[in-house]
Amino acid sequence: MARRQSIGIRRELTSLIPTRQLNFLAQLSGLVRRRRKVEAMALFWTVVLGFSGGRARSLAGLRRAYQKSTGTTLVPSAFYDRFTKSLAAFFRFVVEELLERMQESEAKFSGLLRSFRDVVVTDSTLVKLHDLLEGRFPACRTNHTRAAAKLHVVMSVKGQGPRSVKLTSGRQHDGPVFRVGRWVRDRLLMFDLGYFRYQLFDCIDRNGGFFISRLKENANPEITATLRQWRGRSVPLVGERLRDVIERLQRDTLDVEVEITFRHRAYAGAQSGARRSLRLVGVKNDDTGRYHLYVTNLPPERLTAEQVARAYAGRWQIELLFKEMKSHYRLADLPSRKPHIVEALLYATLVTLVVSRRLLRAVRQALRRQKRVVPEGRWAALFATVSSAILDLLLAPARLARGLARWTEAMLLHEAVDPNLSRQMLLARVENGATW
């Protein structure tokens, strides 16, 4: 008889963050001071996994999920009174603990990105809040949204999850939130235009890291060298400004060195200017005839112009992560005008994401011999469907939990597999150069 495949859901999640550590963080945050009807660990897992009931996340729905999974009956006030500032602090501590525990993945890149220690993508997403939270979380455009939170995430592509997070108001600009240090060495960082700053790129380069960013529309650097030779009567580029010649180019790719000027951060009231050379890459879009332009410090022998554009497509991973949290884990469902409840639910969604990715890794390991693909998007929809069952087996007595685990694990292993055998995931397409 074939051996039944097992994920070990309970084992995976209790090893991700042990109950002893959760109890310590609950005491540290002030969530637990005396024994109460609503048990802290059951509340934690309910807020993390009890979101799937109903069309939108609500405190009433979470209370019903708590009662169902624990077999208790509560008056609404006994449950709602636990949503305090201490609960928000508790979930913030848990997120910090999880990010610290998520050590660098042992996975390795196998293709285009194999020479990098990791690929790091950063971006932010806005979450609309109740208008009465405008004082704490002012939005950037108050003509249609008065209050909004902004979640800034730095994501490890290799680890398939967040490496750091920060919660600010919607009015906070992206650039100043991101910090560079020695940790960037041998890593490839990719940005959208919200982070475009020559000072940032210079700092990454000085710390031994690499970057790729889209070029701003108003940037017009001087071309100082061509890095690819073209046959025939090609348009001379050296000494020209980019915007003066780009409309006359017929070539499919542009690969040149440019000189940029910028100002260093002010020290002791003085601010000095600086110049440096960067590589500018352009790849023409066949449909529009216009170039997609990128700046990078990667040398041509490391990645060709076409490979730079292909690698940048991997930045879409973080957009998919935000979509996963909003579409499946109810990131945008924040049913409260109280800031501490909003913060607790935002941080709880991040915990949900980490829990989901931990079980995704376990499912992929269980299926690795079959060489079947488990896409993140398909997994997220499945995880959201069975999250209440996972909550039940975590809170049930051991005897009942075994039966629940058998059914839940069998369903996950059966439904997670992509039926399209030829479909590649985004990272695989980036690494292998597959057509889009």
The pLDDT value given to residue 153: 93
Q: Give the residue-averaged pLDDT of 257-267.
A: 82
- Helix segments in 135-254, DSSP class H: 198-206, 242-245
- For residue 211, what are the β-bridge partners? 189
Helix (H) or strand (E) holding 119: strand 118-128
Predicted confidence band of residue 1 (pLDDT cuts 50, 70, 90): very low
Instruction: Give how far the C-alpha of residue 352 lies from the chain's centroid of Cα atoms, to the nearest Å.
Output: 13
Q: Name the token pair of 210.
A: 């690499």
pLDDT at 3: 52
Q: How far apart are CA 194 and CA 124, in angstroms?
A: 9
Highest-pLDDT range among 175-179, 374-378, 395-399:
374-378
Residue 436 has pLDDT above 50, yes or no: no
Whole-angstrom distance, CA of residue 100 vs CA of residue 81: 30
Residue 53 pLDDT level (bands cut at 50, 70, 90): low
Amino acid in the structure at residue 213:
S
Region 117-136: mean pLDDT is 93
Euclidean distance between CA atoms 270 and 264, whole angstroms:
9
Q: How confident is the model at residue 2 (pLDDT cuts 50, 70, 90)?
A: very low
Cβ(333)–Cβ(56) under 8 Å? yes
| Whole-Å CA distances, 98 to 32, 102, 277, 329 | 20, 6, 39, 18
Average pLDDT over every residue of 284-295:
93
End-to-end CA distance of the chain: 42
Take residue 182 and report the two structure tokens written for it. 């020695």
Mean pLDDT, rounded, for 54-58: 79
| pLDDT score recorded for residue 35 | 57
pLDDT of residue 232 exceeding 70, the answer is no
Between vectors from CA 306 to CA 106 and to CA 277, what angle results, nearest 5°? 90
Residue 333 CA to residue 54 CA, distance in Å, equals 11
> Got the DSSP string for 150-203?
EEEEEEETTTTEEEEEEEEETTS-SGGG----GGGTTEEEEE-GGG--HHHHHH
- Strands of the 222-226 sheet, one edge to the other: 161-169, 148-156, 118-128, 187-191, 210-214, 291-296, 273-284, 253-263, 222-226
**Which percentage of the chain shows pLDDT scores above 70?**
93
Compute the half-sphere exposure of residue 273: CA atoms within 13 Å on the CB side of its CA: 3
Instruction: Give pLDDT tens digits for 154-188.
Output: 998 887 788 889 999 999 888 777 889 999 999 99
| Span of 17-26, 252-261, 285-294, 413-422 with lowest mean pLDDT | 413-422
